[in-house]
Amino acid sequence: MTHAAPPPIVAILRGVKPTEIVDVAAALVAAGIRGIEVPMNSPDPLESIGKLCDAFGDQALCGAGTVLAPEVVDQVAGVGGKLIVTPNTDAAVITRAVELGLTAMPGFATPSEAFVAVKAGAKALKLYPASSFGPSHIKAVKDVLPKDILVYAVGGVGAANLEPWRAAGIAGIGVGGELYRPGYTAQEVGERAAALVAAWGA
């Protein structure tokens, strides 16, 4: 059984610490965000992902970002993670996530990479870094992809510039620094998340 489609906004908590993950995630969930990833290059990421999944796994799609190897998929699944996000297109990572019934959201830049990801079983893709390519790139790639494939824009997309991306047909966005940077309080994160959710709903 595959996990449900990812929600339209995925919060990327790069650099989050295990001591703050629950408070930060609580603020995100309260603001209406239902996708949360802890990048694997954060401090003690598996500890944070475990705490995140224990606290909010029933309310949000929680998991790992910057996943670069199939064995890391196993580690993330072992602590309860259901979301596997990559910056690149690695068929072995995608296949492993799909085998375990997790939601894979691999990064792609070109149509070739997008089709490699789809062939490996991904149902959601992220254009990364989106700002380098622009909305017209997503529109063109979406024209040739299977209609049921969700395309997210990640990297340089946020509350201030959503409109052209929405017009290009994105299913959602992944947002990092606009929502969370090391040193932000949970309250700050909550306020930023509320503004982003409002912009998405506008």
Q: Along the 202 residues of the chain, how does pLDDT read in single tens digits?
A: 344 578 999 999 999 999 999 999 999 999 999 999 999 999 999 999 999 999 999 999 999 999 999 999 999 999 999 999 999 999 999 999 999 999 999 999 999 999 999 999 999 999 999 999 999 999 999 999 999 999 999 999 999 999 999 999 999 999 999 999 999 999 999 999 999 999 999 8
The verdict on whether omega for the bond into residue 129 sits within 30 degrees of 0, i.e. cis, is yes
**Is 126 part of the annotated catalytic residue set?**
yes
H helix or E strand, kind and range, residue 107: strand 107-108
What are 14's two structure tokens? 């790069």
Catalytic residue among 51, 82, 123, 126: 126
Catalytic residue among 37, 51, 142, 178: 37
- Alpha carbons 148 and 24: distance in angstroms, whole number: 32
**Is 82 part of the annotated catalytic residue set?**
no
Burial 110-141 (b: 16+ CB within 10 A, else e): eeebbbbbbebbbbbbbbbebeebebebbbeb
Going by their DSSP bridges, the two strands 61-65 and 107-108 should be labelled as unpaired
Query: Could you tell me how many helices (H) and strands (E) the chain has, helices first?
Result: 9, 9
Query: Is 65 in a helix, a strand, or coil?
Result: strand
